[in-house]
Structure 1
Amino acid sequence: MSQSAPPPQQPQPVDGNPFAQLPGAIPPPQAPGVPYVTVPAPAPVSGNIGLGLAAAFGAAVVVAGVYGAIIGLTKHEIGWAAVGVGFLIGLAAGRVGGRNPVLPVASAVLSLAAVYLGQLVGEAMLIANQVNAGFSEIFFQHLNVVQEAWKADADPLTFVFFAIAAYVAFTGARKAAA
């Protein structure tokens, strides 16, 4: 009588993993002196509406000041710079906030406010130069005079650039989130 060979023993699972002890399995190499496997860093947070709004607001404040300084230094309203204002606000909102549908609308509104504030800053700089006074005195103590001067200087093209800045902010926020 010939005896048949006993069936091969199957390895037992370790910690419930049936593939842990398979023949030919190669464990991952470990770094010398490191008792654990490194884990990749988590992906940056994206899609947070609060952070997106905060980034858009921060960008609006900064670019309004820069836009106002450009107007004050050049003594001209540069309408195409308003497009840059809208673009930067939309970019900040979309990159940080993600695809939330509120962010493009908020970006458009913030770009309108930033362009207006920038134009007021520029107007205050021009008035301060004419009357030999400080910018902060004119802007903070005589804001009504600054607004009246802005109304007198505003023309239809001013409002066209308001609309373009809002449009660019809206579309920029949507594209930056993609």
Structure 2
Amino acid sequence: MTASAPDTDGPSARPHTAQHYSVAPPPLSPEGYVAPGMPGAPVTGYDPVDPAPRAAPRRRTALAVTLALLAMLLGGLAYGCAPLRAADSLGWLAIAPAGLVALPLGRLGGRNRLLPPLGALLAAGALLLGQLIEHLRRVQTDGPTPHDLLHDTLAAWRTDLRPLDAAFYAIALIGGFLLTRRTANQN
């Protein structure tokens, strides 16, 4: 059985059968086109519509350092003015001034390479300031001059230093560095 050849008496009543080609048929879509959502290489000459580029966040390093200095003073004041009966367990809160200092440095300063070491130093400075304020409250002298008051406070601080204080300073240094870097990376 054969199909009717063109230019014969008329169309055949048989249904069309599958056609076999020796070469592939021409594609119905342009070459290299990949339907959206389908895996494949990018199409040459195809420019997708780019969304509006995100504006880079503004970095305010001077404001960040100023607020970090204020946070250091505030953290040292809060650390030094804690009740004296809690002084023995207070050292473990050395991470709190580090967090206070790191927040403005990381959020406002961004990923500046100098800010994490600065955060570490300011956190240790807050701890030192807090310890000095605590010893200043303990010093009792009769009509001290500012020089005598500072001298007595530093002498009391030096005599009261313990090996555990080195651990507290290490906590403040490491915490200030890591927290500043972590808050900067969250931006």
TM-score bracket, shorter-length normalisation: 0.5 to 0.7
Deviation per CA, 1:106-149: give whole Å up to 9, x if none.
11111111111110000111224xx5x79xx6877511111111
Establish whether residue 84 from structure 1 lines up as the match of residue 96 from structure 2.
Answer: yes
Specify the alignment match of 2:62 in structure 1: 50
CA contact (8 A) 1:77 1:119 kept: no
Whole-angstrom CA distance in 2 between matches of 1:140 and 1:85: 28
- The one-letter amino acid of 2:166's match is F
User: Which position in structure 2 is the counterpart of 1:174?
Assistant: 181
Task: Name the TM-score, length of structure 1 as normaliser.
Answer: 0.65
Equivalent AA in structure 1 for residue 107 of structure 2: R
The TM-score with structure 2 as length reference comes to 0.62
Give the CA RMSD over aligned residues.
Answer: 2.6
Q: Is the CA contact 1:127–1:138 (under 8 Å) kept in the aligned structure 2?
A: no
Name the larger-Rg structure.
2
Partner residue of 2:75?
63
- Equivalent position of 1:144 in the other structure: 151
Amino acid at match of 1:166: L
Aligned residue in 1 for 2:131: 119
Length, aligned pairs only: 131
The alignment-based identity, stated in percent, is 31
Q: Describe the shift of the 1:112–1:75 C-alpha distance in structure 2 as closer, same or farther (beyond 3 A).
A: closer
Give the match's secondary structure for 2:168: helix
5+ residue gaps in structure 1? 1-42
| Cα pair 1:56 1:110 within 8 Å, conserved | yes
Greater share of helix residues, 1 or 2?
1
**Please, which runs of 5 or more residues in structure 2 have no aligned partner?**
1-54
What CA distance in whole angstroms lies between the structure 2 residues aligned with 1:92 and 1:112? 16
How far is 1:95 from its partner? 1.3
